[in-house]
Structure 1
Amino acid sequence: MNNNDKIKNPREVAINVLHEVEYKDAYTNLALKKWLSKAALSNNDVALATSLVYGTEKNKLHIDSIISSLSKTPLKKISPWILIVLRVGIYQMYFLDKVPTFAAVNEGVKLGKRYESAKAGGFVNGVLRSAERNMESIKAKENPDYVKLSVPNWLLKLMTKYYGYDFAMDFFKASLGVSPLTIRVNTLKVDADELIGILKNEGVAAEKSNFSPECLVTKGLTNIGGLKSHDQGLYFVQDEGAMLSVEALEVKLGNSVLDMCAAPGGKTTHIAQKLENAGSVTARDIHSHKMLLIEKNIHRLGLDNVKSEIKDGLNLDESDLGKYDRVLLDAPCSGLGIIRRKPDIKYKLSPQKIHEIVQIQKRLILNAFDSLSPGGYLVYTTCTVNPRENEEVVDYLLKNRERAFVDDKLPEDIFRDIIDEAGYVKLYPNVHGTDGFFIVRIGIEN
Structure 2
Amino acid sequence: MGDSGKVSARAVALLVLGKFDPAAGDASEVLYRYIGRTEGRGQATDIVFGVIRHRKTIDHLLALIGNVQAKRVQKRLMNVLRIGVYELVFAAETAEYAIVNEAVELARTRGGRRQAGFVNAVLRNVGRAIAERKCGADEADKLDFVPVSARWGCRFKRDVLPDEAEGAGRYLGLKYSLPGWLAGKWAEQFGRETAERICLGSNRKPGVWIRPNRLKTTLRELCSRFGEAGVEFDLWLERDMLRLRGGVSVPELPGYDEGLFSVQDPTAAKVGEIVGPKAGEVVLDMCAAPGGKTTHMAELMGDEGLVIASDVDTERLGMVVENCQRLGISAVKAVDIHKMGEAVEKAGGADRVLVDVPCSNTGVMARRCEVRLRINHEKAASLAGVQYGILTEASKYVKQGGAICYSTCSIMDEENCAIVRRFLEEHEGWSIESEELTLPGVGICGEDVSGDHDGGYACLLRRYQC
Structure 1 residues 392 and 343 mapped into 2: Cα distance closer, same or farther (>3 Å)? same
Structure 1 residues 445 and 25 mapped into 2: Cα distance closer, same or farther (>3 Å)? closer
Structure 1 residues 100 and 51 mapped into 2: Cα distance closer, same or farther (>3 Å)? same
Matches within 5 A, 1:23-422: 25-36=24-35, 38-41=36-39, 45-136=40-131, 138=156, 140-144=158-162, 145=171, 146-209=173-236, 211-213=238-240, 215-311=241-337, 317=341, 320=344, 323-408=349-434
- Quote how far apart the aligned CAs of 1:67 are: 0.9
Structure 1 residues 424 and 174 mapped into 2: Cα distance closer, same or farther (>3 Å)? closer
Alignment check: 8 A CA contact 1:225 1:237 kept: no
User: Percent identity of the aligned residues?
Assistant: 28
Partners of 1:95 and 1:139 in 2: CA distance = 16
Partners of 2:46 and 2:377 in 1: CA distance = 30
Other-structure match for 2:165: none
For 2:391, the aligned partner's letter is: I
Deviations 1:288-327 (A, max 9, x none): 2212221111111111111112317xx9747746711111
Partners of 2:433 and 2:234 in 1: CA distance = 32
Stretch moving more, 70-79 or 283-292? 70-79
Structure 1 residues 139 and 95 mapped into 2: Cα distance closer, same or farther (>3 Å)? farther
Runs of 5+ consecutive residues of structure 1 not aligned to the other structure? 409-422
Alignment check: 8 A CA contact 1:286 1:311 kept: yes
Partners of 1:297 and 1:61 in 2: CA distance = 37
For 1:373, the aligned partner's letter is: K
For 1:361, the aligned partner's letter is: Q
Alignment check: 8 A CA contact 2:283 2:307 kept: yes
- Quote how far apart the aligned CAs of 1:62 are: 1.2
Partners of 2:287 and 2:6 in 1: CA distance = 37
Deviations 1:318-366 (A, max 9, x none): 7746711111111111001110111110121011111111110000011
Partners of 1:142 and 1:97 in 2: CA distance = 18
Stretch moving more, 68-77 or 346-355? 68-77
- Quote how far apart the aligned CAs of 1:25 are: 4.5
Partners of 1:74 and 1:249 in 2: CA distance = 49
Alignment check: 8 A CA contact 2:391 2:406 kept: yes
Other-structure match for 1:416: none
For 1:125, the aligned partner's letter is: N
Structure 1 residues 6 and 139 mapped into 2: Cα distance closer, same or farther (>3 Å)? farther
The TM-score normalised by the length of structure 2 is 0.85
- Quote how far apart the aligned CAs of 1:74 are: 2.6
- Quote how far apart the aligned CAs of 1:128 are: 1.1
Partner SS for 1:374: strand
Alignment check: 8 A CA contact 1:28 1:342 kept: no
Deviations 1:42-78 (A, max 9, x none): xxx2111121122222211111111112444532110
The TM-score normalised by the length of structure 1 is 0.89
Partners of 1:132 and 1:428 in 2: CA distance = 32
- Quote how far apart the aligned CAs of 1:5 are: 9.3
Stretch moving more, 215-224 or 273-282? 215-224
Structure 1 residues 6 and 28 mapped into 2: Cα distance closer, same or farther (>3 Å)? farther
Partners of 1:332 and 1:86 in 2: CA distance = 35
Partner SS for 1:197: helix
Partners of 1:100 and 1:319 in 2: CA distance = 60
For 1:424, the aligned partner's letter is: E
Other-structure match for 1:417: none
Aligned length in residues? 423
Matches within 5 A, 1:6-21: 7-21=6-20
For 1:357, the aligned partner's letter is: L
Alignment check: 8 A CA contact 2:129 2:158 kept: no
Partners of 1:239 and 1:6 in 2: CA distance = 36
- Quote how far apart the aligned CAs of 1:80 are: 0.3
Partners of 1:305 and 1:281 in 2: CA distance = 6
Runs of 5+ consecutive residues of structure 2 not aligned to the other structure? 132-143, 145-155, 163-170, 443-449
Alignment check: 8 A CA contact 1:7 1:13 kept: no
- Quote how far apart the aligned CAs of 1:26 are: 4.1
Partner SS for 2:89: helix
Partners of 2:22 and 2:190 in 1: CA distance = 33
